[in-house]
Amino acid sequence: MFCESTNRYSHNIVTVSESDISFCPHQPALNCVVSMSSDSSGQVVGSDAEVLVLSSQGTQPSDGVVITKPGNLPTKHIIHMVGRTKEADITSSMLKTLMMCESHKLQSVSFPALGTAVIQPPRTWTRMVNKDMEMIDLAPASGEYKKLSSLCQCFQIQRIQNKYLWQRYAVKKQILDKKYPTNKNELNLYHGTTADICHKINSTGFNRSFCGRNATVYGNGTYFAKESWYSCQDTYSNPDVSGLKYMYRARVLVGKPCKGLQGMKEPSPLSASNPQAGLHDSAVDDLQKPFIYVVFCDAGAYPEYLISFKTK
């Protein structure tokens, strides 16, 4: 049988993409997937193997190896090496894995090493074939559309499926969740914009260099509102020639925010006496009851839905 060799990376990310299935049924600890190629960012992208071997912590079977259906991963089977941390156990489980593949007459297998999480697209995404970005028009009868259409008089709602933007956002979210495991680091917020800016955001994401078009009272970043009505105002979503207005429902990494200040170019330090503590993750208008959020890192927000609407 054919077994692909593995290279060991530190702090790499496995991104599963471009196949029949898109998601991982659980969050394993991985380092790299051997049949994958590394892009310029150091992330490992794509797999054509029939079997993906995942290492995870959990209840250990008698031999440490379990084969399951692939769930939403682009592979025919998943073999889980559960609870294997010692070198001898890992070696034994790898041999059992190869024998299992042989018995199932499988020709290729991917062996990730230990250390990194799989990046999964949102469960709402549809399959993307040979595309890195796609705008999906939501059907008015769909649950997604109904939930979002209650925000305003919608003309069209589109789901933005942008692999590059999602990958960089997901990496940052993983880092933030590891830093603050009990904190609610992600919020669904709103951002009003104009027709000419929409195309740029859809393809390259939010860009803090556009700050100042409306206000910078809480810092020189990208602004988001807690409620949609705020972004619906003409000040933030100016109508085009046909009267249509545009607003994003975005995923935003707020982490631990600081009080925003005029001219602020980055969040304030977490500790004035300890520079090693790092910075806050965003800025807000009010620490007690935040309504306006400002992010200073473009990867800190993902434009999930573009809502085209008219005011009532």
pLDDT exceeds cutoff 50 at 26: no
> Tell me, what's the pLDDT at 154?
84
The answer, yes or no, to whether residue 299 has pLDDT greater than 60, is yes
Both 153 and 281 in one domain: the answer is yes
Per-residue model confidence (pLDDT) at position 186? 98
| 167 and 104 in a common domain | no
For residues 99 and 186, state if they share a domain.
no
Task: Give the helix ranges, DSSP H, for the chain.
Answer: 87-103, 143-149, 163-179, 195-204, 228-231
pLDDT, residue 268, reads 95
Residues 46 and 110 occupy one common structural domain: yes
Q: pLDDT confidence of 8, banded at 50, 70, 90?
A: very low
Residue 183 to residues 59, 173, 174, 178: CA-CA distances in angstroms? 27, 12, 12, 10
Domain co-membership, 114 together with 147: no
Identify whether the C-beta of residue 290 lies closer than 8 Å to the C-beta of residue 226: yes
d(CA 108, CA 256): 44
Total of domains in the chain: 2
What range defines the domain where residue 100 resides? Answer: 14-119
**34 pLDDT exceeds 80?**
no
Q: Are residues 151 and 112 in the same domain?
A: no
4 in a structural domain: no
d(CA 160, CA 137): 9
Q: How many helices (H) and strands (E) does the chain have?
A: 5, 17
Is residue 190 located within the same domain as residue 272?
yes
Q: Are residues 114 and 241 in the same domain?
A: no
Which of 57, 92, 119 is the endpoint of a domain? Answer: 119
Q: With respect to residue 106, please indicate whether it lies within any of the assigned structural domains.
A: yes
142-171 residue pLDDT tens: 999 998 987 777 889 999 999 999 999 999
Residue 42: inside a domain, yes or no?
yes
List pLDDT tens digits, range 55-81: 544 454 556 677 777 766 667 777 777
What's the pTM?
Answer: 0.67
Phi/psi of residue 241, nearest 5 degrees: -65, -25
State the average pLDDT for the chain. Answer: 77
The more confidently predicted of residues 179 and 30 is 179
Instruction: Give the whole-number percent of the chain exceeding pLDDT 90.
Output: 46
Question: What pLDDT digit, counting tens, does each position of 46-57 carry?
Answer: 444 555 555 544
Residues 78 and 204 in one domain: no
Which of 79, 94, 119 is the last residue before a domain boundary?
119
- The SS3 of residue 89 is helix
Pick 42 or 243 by higher pLDDT: 243
Would you say residue 108 lies in a domain? Answer: yes
Which domain CATH number covers 274?
3.90.228.10
Q: Residue 280 contacts by C-beta under 8 Å, 6 or more apart in sequence?
A: 255, 256, 257, 258, 267, 268, 269, 270
Tell me the CA end-to-end span of the chain in Å, nearest whole number.
Answer: 65
Grade residue 85 by pLDDT with cuts at 50, 70 and 90. low
62 burial class (0-12, 13-18, 19+ CB within 10 angstroms)?
Answer: exposed
Record the tokens describing residue 205, joined without a space. Answer: 């994401």
Do 114 and 139 fall within a single domain? no
pLDDT at residue 92 greater than cutoff 90: no
Residue 304, in any domain of the structure: yes
- Do 218 and 260 lie in a common domain? yes
Of the residues 68, 93, 119, which one is the last residue of a structural domain? 119
Asked if residue 110 has pLDDT above 80, the reply is no
135 or 6, higher pLDDT = 135
CA–CA distance, 26 with 21 (Å, rounded to integer): 14
pLDDT (0 to 100) of residue 36: 28
Least confident of 20-24, 65-69, 224-228, 279-283: 20-24
Identify the band that residue 95 occupies on the pLDDT scale cut at 50, 70 and 90. Answer: confident
Length of the chain equals 312
Report whether pLDDT(130) > 80. yes
Same domain for 102 and 180, yes or no, is no
Is the confidence at residue 240, as pLDDT, over 60?
Answer: yes
**61 found inside a domain:** yes
